[in-house]
């Protein structure tokens, strides 16, 4: 540890032991290093402080005023962590100033720069100006420490490089809350001998870039000799008109950062370095960087999503082995509440709006359920920022629950009009789902509603879908039609949730999960539900139970704002059609027969399936109008009230069994069904 310390510096450190023992202290703090420096003859500390009329007694008095609680172990002399930090900082300063050894000037300068140590507090309480001392010692020694640390002259000529450390110094970044384990892991990897490169993998919005910014804040707070810069691939390509311009740019940049351990290069969306800038050759950014990454000449942190990592990085073995992957998980609800509680002061200052503490848990809980297929903390921060902006523009003093609800509805486009209400009157069974959807009253991630339709033609079905789209304000293109006749094989499930990484179809954009990610508010129409494979039936039952499904890339896809409609064609042989003679014989007897109700209709389904049923409706087209009924009781009541002979004949034809002389429904036992929770 002391190999690079001069004999004078070693003597000062040993003398600090004696000062600590004189005060019955076995733990050596930075305050005793300050005393030892002051007692070093002709040291910079002694000369500068004596010029300001500071004596040893003044320093001792200030030390006694500071209450420091340390656990002593008699006979064992140890350093405090801050004492070691000061020694490390002094070692870094000696390197930056081109010195072969650490001298007393470096130790004194370190005490003036490490602001969270006891020695700095002692100096603060003395009648001196610390900034003037720093300026005086750097001028006398001829140091250019600050410029060396910022390395402004190094990156002035690179328009595609952004200095993150300078943003930290200007206090333009939000603080990083949590993620201590990830920061510790990154720090350990960056200090390795070989392969000092990290790639952060996580879904968009979980805070990968924020972790790098937090690392820059950590280094700056600890006064570490580290500089983090961001490499913008798009700006790197901009303006390269001639062959060789791009290669020259990246080569000049690499030459400026090679073998400089204090420089860390951050590349966001690092998958873009593959096949970028290659032109007619095979020389892209990735191939240019590989040698420097392998030899440890470059410290690099990359960030990408899970999909892009497996699509681009993982397939390039030579590139992926040079990075150590760190997976960044989405923060939990409690962690997100803690994050927003700690950063809300920055939004209050920017918008000049008060954010009550009780609004943060309310916002996070509602955002979790209402805004799906996006991730914490990004979606919660976006809603908080927009709510503050809305309150400011409407001259409100603070945000309220009402403001948060309005912003969430605006984000989801959950605003209805009077025409929607009039259309809703035609479908009474949708009223509770309408209220639940537009009021965000939900305790689960289940779909808005699901409906099983039977005995419908295309015109009736299209009419119903158009009405549903209008009532719930869903765009026309947000309709996914899946004919389950094409999903009779179990392996066809890959067309719904995708294939595993590395297999054919992994990047298929036409899967159900990709569609729901693109259109969170959508209608999913499942045709011929009875013909699909058993595992696909189970998949849809899981969606209805939990409200989400995991694709084979381990992404959770939520169906919370979807409406699922299934159509089913019963086995006509089991029901039968009557000829004209039988029809005339039994015509008109419907109203006298036992009413067919929903329970009888579902008598051959399991209790589990019946408990999942949300709504079952039947369509009949009479007089060019589509009539919608919730159960058979409604049908009979409609016939009695309106004397609808056309509907009576149609119902009679479909459901009357002349052998049993009653209206019954028989189903094939192997028939597969699809239901929803009440």
pLDDT digits (tens, 9 = 90+) for 161-173: 788 888 887 788 8
Architecture of the domain whose range is 151-327: 3-Layer(aba) Sandwich (3.40)
CA distances from 276 to 284, 301, 354, 415, 527 (A): 5, 18, 46, 43, 43
- Sequence-distant (6+) residues with CB within 8 A of 467 are 423, 426, 427
Query: What three-state secondary structure class fits 532?
Result: coil
Phi/psi of residue 176, each to 5°? -90, 125
DSSP assigned state of 331: P
Long-range contact pairs involving 225-228 (C-beta distance under 8 Å, separation at least 24): 225/92, 225/95, 225/96, 225/149, 225/262, 226/165, 226/262, 226/264, 227/149, 227/150, 227/151, 227/163, 227/165, 227/262, 227/263, 227/264, 228/164, 228/165, 228/264, 228/266, 228/301
Strands 556-558 and 548-550: antiparallel
More confident call, 418 vs 335? 335
Residue 171, strand partner residues: none
Instruction: Map residue 200 onto helix, strand or coil.
Output: strand
Cα distances from 255 to residues 248, 270, 334, 426, in angstroms, run 10, 20, 45, 72
Q: Where are the alpha helices (DSSP H) in 488-590?
A: 494-497, 512-518, 534-546, 572-575, 580-586
Contact 529, 674 (CB under 8 A): yes
Distance CA 160, CA 97 (A): 29
CA distance 465 to 38: 85
Per-residue pLDDT tens for 281-336? 445 677 777 777 777 777 888 888 887 888 778 877 878 888 888 888 888 888 88
List the Cα angle 480/536/607 in 5-degree steps. Answer: 110
Residue at token pair 């595993």: 500
The CATH code belonging to domain 7-147 is 1.10.1780.10
The span from the CA of 584 to the CA of 579, in Å, is: 9
Tens-digit pLDDT profile for residues 239-290: 665 556 677 777 777 777 777 777 888 888 888 777 655 554 445 677 777 7
| Other residues' Cβ atoms within 10 Å of the Cβ of residue 389 | 16
**pLDDT at site 503:** 63
pLDDT digits (tens, 9 = 90+) for 612-659: 444 444 444 444 444 555 445 555 565 555 555 555 554 554 444 455
**CATH code for the structural domain at 333-412:** 1.10.8.60
Model confidence at 197, pLDDT cuts 50, 70, 90, reads: confident
CB contact at 8 A, 644 and 590:
no
Mean pLDDT (the chain) is 72
Residues 6 or more apart whose Cβ sits within 8 Å of residue 86: 30, 33, 107, 110, 111, 114, 117, 119
Residue 560 — left, alpha, or beta (φ > 0 → left; ψ -120 to 50 → alpha)?
alpha
**Which class is domain 418-568?**
alpha beta
Percent of the chain's residues with pLDDT above 90? 0
Check: CB of residue 325 under 8 Å from CB of residue 314. no
**Regarding predicted confidence, which is higher, 433 or 174?**
174
Residue pair 656/578 in contact by the 8 Å Cβ criterion: yes
User: Which pairs with CB-CB distance under 8 Å and at least 24 residues apart come from 412-417?
Assistant: 412/370, 412/371, 412/520, 412/521, 412/561, 413/473, 413/521, 414/438, 414/440, 414/473, 415/473, 416/471, 416/473
Question: Do β-strands 625-629 and 616-622 pair in parallel, antiparallel, or remain unpaired?
Answer: antiparallel
**Cα radius of gyration (the chain):** 36
Asked if pLDDT for residue 526 goes beyond 50, the answer is yes
Alpha helices in 328-377 (DSSP H): 333-351, 359-370
Neighbours of 393 (CB within 10 A): 9
The tens digit of pLDDT for each residue in 582-596 reads: 334 433 333 322 223
**Domain spans in the chain, listed from the N-terminal domain onward:** 7-147, 151-327, 333-412, 418-568, 572-663
Which of 43-52, 159-168, 657-666 has the least mean pLDDT?
657-666
Residues 419-450 have pLDDT tens digits of: 777 777 777 777 777 777 776 666 567 777 77
- Which has the closest alpha carbon to 92: 102, 104, 82? 102
312: helix, strand or coil: helix
Give yes or no for residue 25 having a pLDDT over 70: yes
Identical fold for domains 7-147 and 333-412, yes or no, is no
- How far is Cα 180 from Cα 177, in angstroms, rounded to an integer? 8
Rounded Cα gap, residues 553 and 499, in angstroms: 8
Find where tokens 């190999």 sit. 3
């Amino acid at each position: 540890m002391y190999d690079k310390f001069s004999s004078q510096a070693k003597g000062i450190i040993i003398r600090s032991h004696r000062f600590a023992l004189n005060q019955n202290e076995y733990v050596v703090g930075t305050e005793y290093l300050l005393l030892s420096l002051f007692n070093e003859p002709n040291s910079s500390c002694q000369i500068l402080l004596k010029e300001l009329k500071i004596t040893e007694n003044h320093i001792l008095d200030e030390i006694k005023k500071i209450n420091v609680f340390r656990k002593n172990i008699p006979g064992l002399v140890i350093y405090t962590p801050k004492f070691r930090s000061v020694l490390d900082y002094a070692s870094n300063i000696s390197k930056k100033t081109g010195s072969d050894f650490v001298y007393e000037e470096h130790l004194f300068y370190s005490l003036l720069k490490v602001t969270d140590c006891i020695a700095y507090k002692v100096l603060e309480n003395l009648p001196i100006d610390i900034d003037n001392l720093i300026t005086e010692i750097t001028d006398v020694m001829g140091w250019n420490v600050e410029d060396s640390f910022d390395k402004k002259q190094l990156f002035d000529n690179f328009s595609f490089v952004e200095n993150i450390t300078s943003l930290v110094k200007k206090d333009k970044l939000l603080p990083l809350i949590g993620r201590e384990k990830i920061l510790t892991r990154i720090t350990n990897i960056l200090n390795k001998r070989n392969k000092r490169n990290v790639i952060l993998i996580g879904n968009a919005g979980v805070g990968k870039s924020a972790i790098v910014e937090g690392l820059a804040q950590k280094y700056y707070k600890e006064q570490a000799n580290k500089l983090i810069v961001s490499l913008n691939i798009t700006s790197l390509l901009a303006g390269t008109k001639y062959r060789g311009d791009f290669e020259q740019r990246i080569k000049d940049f690499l030459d400026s950062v090679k073998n400089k351990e204090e420089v860390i290069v951050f590349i966001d969306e690092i998958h873009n370095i593959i096949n970028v800038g290659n032109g007619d050759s095979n020389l892209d950014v990735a191939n240019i960087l590989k040698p420097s990454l392998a030899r440890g000449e470059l410290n690099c942190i990359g960030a990408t999503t899970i999909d892009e990592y497996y699509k681009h990085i993982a397939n390039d073995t030579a590139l992926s082995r040079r990075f150590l992957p760190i997976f960044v998980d989405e923060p939990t609800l409690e962690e997100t509440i803690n994050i927003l509680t700690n950063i809300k002061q920055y939004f209050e200052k920017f918008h000049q709006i008060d954010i009550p503490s009780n609004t943060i848990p309310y916002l996070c809980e509602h955002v979790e359920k209402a805004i799906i297929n996006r991730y914490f903390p990004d979606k919660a921060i976006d809603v908080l920022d927009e709510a503050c902006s809305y309150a400011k523009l409407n001259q409100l003093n603070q945000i309220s629950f009402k403001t948060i609800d309005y912003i969430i509805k605006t984000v989801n486009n959950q605003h209805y009009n009077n025409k929607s209400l009039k259309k809703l009157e035609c479908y009474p069974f949708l009223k509770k789902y309408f209220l639940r959807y537009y009021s965000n009253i939900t305790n689960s991630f289940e779909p808005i509603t699901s409906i099983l339709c039977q005995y419908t033609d295309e015109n009736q079905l299209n009419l119903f879908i158009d009405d549903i789209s209008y009532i719930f304000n869903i765009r026309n293109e947000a309709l996914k039609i899946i004919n389950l006749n094409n999903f009779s094989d179990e392996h066809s499930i890959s067309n719904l949730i995708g294939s595993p990484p590395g297999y054919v179809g992994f990047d298929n954009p036409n899967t159900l999960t990709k569609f729901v990610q693109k259109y969170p508010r959508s209608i999913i129409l499942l045709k011929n539900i009875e013909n699909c494979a058993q595992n696909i039936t189970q998949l849809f039952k899981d969606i209805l139970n939990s409200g989400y499904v995991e694709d084979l890339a381990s992404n959770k896809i939520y169906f919370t704002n979807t409406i699922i409609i299934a159509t089913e064609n019963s086995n006509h042989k089991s029901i039968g059609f009557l000829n004209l003679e039988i029809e005339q014989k039994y015509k008109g007897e419907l109203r006298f027969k036992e009413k067919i109700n929903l329970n009888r209709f579902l008598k051959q389904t399991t209790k589990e399936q019946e408990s999942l049923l949300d709504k079952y409706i039947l369509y009949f087209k009479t007089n060019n109008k589509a009539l919608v009924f919730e159960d058979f009781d409604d049908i009979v009541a409609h016939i009695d009230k309106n004397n609808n002979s056309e509907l009576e004949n149609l119902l009679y034809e479909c459901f009357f069994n002349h052998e049993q002389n009653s209206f019954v429904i028989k189903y094939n036992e192997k028939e597969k069904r699809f239901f929803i929770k009440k």
